[in-house]
Amino acid sequence: GDSVTQTEGPVTVSESESLIINCTYSATSIAYPNLFWYVRYPGEGLQLLLKVITAGQKGSSRGFEATYNKETTSFHLQKASVQESDSAVYYCALGDLNMGYKLTFGTGTSLLVDP
Amino acid sequence: EAGVTQSPRYAVLQEGQAVSFWCDPISGHDTLYWYQQPRDQGPQLLVYFRDEAVIDNSQLPSDRFSAVRPKGTNSTLKIQSAKQGDTATYLCASNANTGQLYFGEGSKLTVL
């Protein structure tokens, strides 16, 4: 089946430092998977951070970036300078429009940014 | 625009008891999903609907779990004879076929 593996947390980073959360995927039932990063801030519901539909493309939002690399089956999340407000749990996911966007999620990476 | 609404937010049961979770999706969203998220794991799809039709319930433990969406709007997920292994947060999400799922805050179930 399809699966997503991401950096195990918790990850602690000092404010203004750079961040990378690794995500690799295996899509056995989807020919052209779409890739997503979702985020859960404290006290809030899960929400979309960014998505990339096509391999080779980059998505960005709120200073975060992720590039869909089909060769390495990766979709790592990066930010050049984190802020305390970025403290949250980040989930990598894959899905497909033709399968109703039923998403397969990774286990989540808890990020704590020290002020 | 109102978001996805779920109730109850919390439920605590003894093994063998039943519970129902209710979800009101965003108006106009034809696709509705139920996910189960055990502690320290990612959400795992249980079932999803397009309008009132079940599209995929292959991961729904059919002997004790059931889900309906009779008018293609609100949905109910029911667990009969709950087990400790059912302890998790149950997430409802809706989608208007844009690739962005909108999640509710979840219903946290504890089975003692």
Q: Does A91 touch chain B (CB under 8 A)?
A: yes
**pLDDT (tens digit, 9 = 90+) per residue, A84-115?**
999 999 999 999 877 677 899 999 999 999 99
Is residue A4 helix, strand or coil? strand
Determine the distance from the C-alpha atom of residue B108 to the mean position of all C-alpha atoms in its chain, rounded to a whole number. 11
Residue B1: band (very low, low, confident or very high) from pLDDT cuts 50, 70, 90: low
**pLDDT (tens digit, 9 = 90+) per residue, B29-56?**
999 999 999 998 999 999 999 999 999 9
Beta strands in A1-115 (DSSP E): 3-6, 11-14, 19-21, 23-26, 34-40, 47-52, 58-61, 64-67, 77-79, 88-95, 104-105, 109-114
Mutate to test the interface with B, among A103, A104, A105, A109 (most CBs of B within 10 A): A103
Q: Does A29 touch chain B (CB under 8 A)?
A: no
